[in-house]
Structure 1
Amino acid sequence: MQDVLVVGAGPAGLSLVAALVEAGLSVQGLALADPAHPWPNTYGIWVDELEDVGLEPFLEHRWKDCVVHVNSGPVPLHREYGLLDKDRLQTHWLSQAEQQRVCWHRGKAVQIEHWPTHTQVTTEAGEVLTARLVVDATGHQAALVRRPKSAELSFQAAYGIVGQFSLPPTDPQQMVLMDFRDDHLTPAQSQDPPTFLYAMDLGDGVYFVEETSLAHHPAIAMETLSQRLHQRLNYRGIEVKDVHHVERCLFPMNQPLPDFTQRVVGFGGAASMVHPASGYMVGALLRRGPTLAKAIATALSSSSTTSDQVANQAWQALWPADRVRKHYLYLFGLENLMAFDAPQLHQFFDAFFNLPTDDWAGFLADNLSLPEVVQAMVGLFGRAPNPVRWGLMRSVFSHGHLLGRTLMS
Structure 2
Amino acid sequence: MEILDILILGSGPAALCLASELAKQDLKIKGISTKSPNQKWENTYGIWASELEELGLENLLSHRWCKTVSFFGDGENKKGDTPTKHNYDYGLINQEAFQNELLKKCKGIEWLNETATDIKEKNKLSEVICFSGLKIKARLVIDASGHKSNFVKRPVQNEIAQQAAYGIVGKFTSPPVNKEQFVLMDFRPNHLNNEEKLSSPSFLYAMDLGNETFFVEETSLASYPALTQENLKKRLYKRLKSKGIEVSEIFHEENCLFPMNLPLPFKKQFVLGFGGAASMVHPASGYMVGSLLRRAPLLAQKLALFLKEPHLSSLELASKGWEILWPYELTQRHKLYQYGLRRLMSFDESRLRSFFSNFFRLSTNEWVGFLTNTLPLPKLIYVMSKMFINSPLKVKLGMLKLN
Same fold judged by TM-score > 0.5?
yes
Q: Deviations over 1:309-328 (max 9, x none)?
A: 22122111100011111111
Pick the aligned partner of 1:13 from 12, 15, 39: 15
Q: Given that residues 184 and 235 in structure 1 are in contact (C-alpha distance below 8 angstroms), is that contact kept between their aligned partners in structure 2?
A: yes
1:208-287 to 2 correspondences below 5 Å: 208-287=215-294
Cα distance in structure 2, aligned partners of 1:23 and 1:53: 19
- Which moves more between the two structures, 246-255 or 321-330? 321-330
TM-score under structure 2 normalisation?
0.95
Q: Quote how far apart the aligned CAs of 1:168 are.
A: 0.7
Asked if structure 1 preserves the Cα contact closer than 8 Å seen for 2:199 and 2:348, the reply is no
Give how far 1:211 is off. Answer: 0.1
Matched, 1:36 2:38: yes
Residue correspondence of structure 1 range 156-235 to structure 2 within 5 A: 156-235=163-242
Which string of whole-angstrom CA distances, capped at 9 and with x for unpartnered residues, describes residues 125-148 of structure 1? Answer: 111112211100111110321122
| Residue aligning to 2:6 | 4
1:390 Cα deviation from its structure 2 partner: 1.4
Q: Tell me which residue corresponds to 1:388.
A: 395
When structure 1 is superposed on structure 2, of 115-124 and 239-248 the one drifting more is 115-124
Are 1:292 and 2:299 matched, yes or no?
A: yes
Provide Cα deviations, 1:296-352, integer angstroms capped at 9, x if missing partner.
Answer: 111112323333322122111100011111111111100111111111111100111
Bigger mean CA deviation after superposition, 54-63 or 205-214 = 54-63
SS of aligned partner of 1:280? coil
Checking the alignment, whether the CA contact within 8 Å between 2:271 and 2:314 is kept in structure 1 is no
Spell out the pairing of 1:1-400 with structure 2 (5 A cutoff): 1-71=3-73, 72=80, 73-97=82-106, 99=107, 101-394=108-401
Q: Deviations along 1:183-212, whole A, 9 cap, x unmatched? A: 111222222211000000001110000000
The 3-state SS of whatever aligns with 2:368 is helix
Contact 1:288 1:318 in 2 (8 A): yes
Contact 1:69 1:75 in 2 (8 A): yes
Q: Which string of whole-angstrom CA distances, capped at 9 and with x for unpartnered residues, describes residues 44-96 of structure 1?
A: 00011011222211111110110111114311111110100111111221222
Could you tell me how far apart the structure 2 residues matched to 1:83 and 1:382 are?
34
Q: Mean alpha-carbon deviation: is it higher for 228-237 or for 17-26?
A: 17-26
Deviations 1:217-266 (A, max 9, x none): 00001111000000000101111010000000001111121111001000
* Deviation sequence 1:141-198 (CA, Å, 0-9, x none): 1032112232111110000000001111111111100000011112222222110000
Call closer, same or farther: CA 1:54–1:24 in 2, change over 3 Å: farther
Please tell me the root mean square deviation across aligned C-alpha atoms, in Å.
1.4
CA distance in 2, matches of 1:216, 1:254: 10
Aligned length: 394
Question: Contact 2:142–2:274 at 8 Å: present in 1 too?
Answer: yes
Aligned counterparts of 1:148 and 1:141: Cα–Cα separation in 2: 14
Structure 2 counterpart SS, 1:112: strand
CA drift at 1:289: 1.1
Question: What is the match of residue 77 of structure 2?
Answer: none
**1:8-67 deviation digits (Å, cap 9, x = unpaired):** 001111111101112333310000121111111100000110112222111111101101
The question of whether the paired residues in 2 share the 8 Å contact of 1:155 and 1:252 is answered with: yes
- Does structure 2 retain, via aligned residues, the 8 Å contact 1:32–1:108? yes
Measure the CA separation in 2 of the matches of 1:86 and 1:315: 28
Structure 1 unaligned residues grouped into runs of 5+: 399-409
- Asked whether the 8 Å contact 1:155–1:217 carries over to 2, the reply is yes
What SS does structure 2 have at the residue aligned with 1:308? helix
3-state DSSP of counterpart to 2:401: helix
Partners of 2:166 and 2:336 in 1: CA distance: 28
